[in-house]
């Protein structure tokens, strides 16, 4: 698992080089947005249950077939599993946000997930949509709190959506 600092140090260590201008700029950007990232993560933490619930309702409003007989989130057990998955995405997004690096998402969330989803018939499209809805809610809350992180908070959500939409995860 890596963060923005260990990522930079790791890549310079491999080359055996001192941190150059590019490295310093990357580190400055990370530390410069550090407080805002942490404040945004704290908003996610405080509102997690509400964010997941609201995103779930919006997702099922848009895709009612998911919770009808034959839908993948039909039955109380699968409905709960779906919301639990949304909660995983939100929690790990908050970690990646603080880390300033997406590695934690690859390592802890995305690896092998597509195979699992395919074998259980969990549809990828609506899953991606659920993550996008959570992104929009978080951006709204972060913006409303006056935190200058509306752009960086999008990154982990967009990363997960992108990885889901590609083949080999």
Ligand X SMILES: CCC1=C(C)/C(=C/C2=NC(=C\c3[nH]c(/C=C4\NC(=O)[C@H](C)[C@H]4CC)c(C)c3CCC(=O)O)/C(CCC(=O)O)=C2C)NC1=O
For ligand X, the binding residues (CB under 6 A) are 66, 72-73, 78, 81-82, 85-86, 88, 108-109, 113, 116, 120, 122-123, 126-127, 130
When the beta carbons of 72 and 94 are compared against ligand X, the nearer one is 72
Q: How far is the CB of 157 from ligand X (least distance, A)?
A: 13
What is 54-80 written as a DSSP string? HHHHHHHHH-GGGGSTTSTT-SHHHHH
Q: For ligand X, which is the closer residue by CB, 43 or 90?
A: 90
Check: CB of residue 165 under 8 Å from CB of residue 128.
Answer: yes
DSSP state for residue 164 in the 8-state scheme: H
Evaluated on CA atoms 67, 154, 89, 166, the torsion sign reads: positive
Least distance from ligand X to the Cβ atom of residue 158, Å = 17
Which single residue brings its beta carbon nearest to ligand X? 82
Q: Which is nearer to ligand X, 41 or 134 (CB)?
A: 134
């Amino acid at each position: 698992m890596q963060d923005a600092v260990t990522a930079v140090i790791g890549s310079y260590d491999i080359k055996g080089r001192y941190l150059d201008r590019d490295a310093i700029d990357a580190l400055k950007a990370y530390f410069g947005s550090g407080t805002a990232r942490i404040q945004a993560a704290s908003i996610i933490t405080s509102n997690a249950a509400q964010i997941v619930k609201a995103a779930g309702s919006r997702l099922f409003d848009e895709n009612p077939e998911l919770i009808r007989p034959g839908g993948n989130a039909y039955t109380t057990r699968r409905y709960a599993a779906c919301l639990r998955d949304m909660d995983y995405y939100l929690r790990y997004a908050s970690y990646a946000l603080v880390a300033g690096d997406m590695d934690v998402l690859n390592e802890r969330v995305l690896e092998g997930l597509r195979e699992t989803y395919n074998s259980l018939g969990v549809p990828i499209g609506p899953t991606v949509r659920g993550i996008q809805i959570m992104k929009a809610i978080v951006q709204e809350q972060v913006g409303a709190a006056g935190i200058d992180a509306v752009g960086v908070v999008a990154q982990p959500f967009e990363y997960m959506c992108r990885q889901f939409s590609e083949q080999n995860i």
